[in-house]
Structure 1
């Protein structure tokens, strides 16, 4: 499989288009024909860059995870307190959701995991591992500093927070007027932050 950093500008346009389709429809909801129309190239050209749809989706998830990791580093550079970092983290989901109620790429792929090729599932697993590890570390630091409650273990709190953000996007889209991830996170954080 190609690494996302090694793809050509045309292949990157293919990845961009397919990423948007996954966020709207999921892996099983788009075809190379859909991507070709969006990019303005012929279907064989897509096959030249990505022999299989699974390879394309894996590169999309790999790049998405990398970008998320970069955003996590930016959050660490801007915020010290755990609750501020967690609010900024929720903002990453809000930013995605604010674009036509798009869902997280790996959240969408995770919902289809039982029907996805292993190469895609591996990258989706990696996304969730990266996020849960980061969240757990942030929450542990907040608990040690006395800013966050210790009633719930850090790892359980991290899993709850991530699931809540992913779920807020799905429920918000389904309700057509539901609260976005940032608002849901704000309510949840009020129960975790010590006065």
Structure 2
């Protein structure tokens, strides 16, 4: 299987197209024909770079998780306070949603978990595990700084925050008047901040 860091420019364009399609219609909603049309190549060329759709989506999900982790490190480098880190984290979701109501790649794949191959499910679980652990640490940091309430427990708050952001994107697609992740974040912050 390819590693996302070793992709040729042509393979990178295919992964970019797959990511956009997953954010819009999920794993089960697109075909290699859709990829070929989006990239402007023939379907056999897509198969040349990625023999199976599973391989393509695994590489895409690994790259997405890697890029997301880079954003988490950037947030840590810019924001010393726990609440500010949480706000910057929420803005990652808000900016994705602001782009034509796109969803988080792993949020969309997570909704399809029961119909996904094991290799993809493992990558989605990895993404969520990384995020919950990072959020837990940020919340603990905020609690130590006495900027966030001590209850509920940091791990529970982390799961709630991630679930609220992912869920707000899904609900936001159905309700055209919702503000999505931005509104949910403000509501939670009012309850959590000291």
Q: TM-score, normalised by structure 2?
A: 0.98
Q: 1:32: which partner in 2?
A: 32
Over the residues paired in the alignment, what is the CA RMSD in angstroms? 0.7
Q: TM-score, normalised by structure 1?
A: 0.98
Supply the distance in 2 between the matched residues of 1:55 and 1:119 (Cα, whole angstroms).
Answer: 8
Supply the distance in 1 between the matched residues of 2:180 and 2:80 (Cα, whole angstroms).
Answer: 24
How far does residue 38 in structure 1 lie from its aligned partner after superposition?
0.5
Task: Show CA shifts across 1:57-79 (max 9, x none).
Answer: 11111011001000001101111
Task: Show CA shifts across 1:22-79 (max 9, x none).
Answer: 0000000000000000001111111111111011111111011001000001101111
SS in 2 for 1:100: coil
Q: 1:189: which partner in 2?
A: 189
Supply the distance in 1 between the matched residues of 2:182 and 2:74 (Cα, whole angstroms).
Answer: 18
How far does residue 176 in structure 1 lie from its aligned partner after superposition?
1.6
Task: Show CA shifts across 1:147-189 (max 9, x none).
Answer: 1111200000000000000000011111122112022101111
Structure 1: tracts of 5 or more residues without a match: none
List aligned pairs for 1:44-193, cutoff 5 A. 44-193=44-193
- Matched-pair contact (CA < 8 Å) for 1:87–1:182: no
1:21 partnered with 2:37: no
Give the number of aligned pairs. Answer: 194
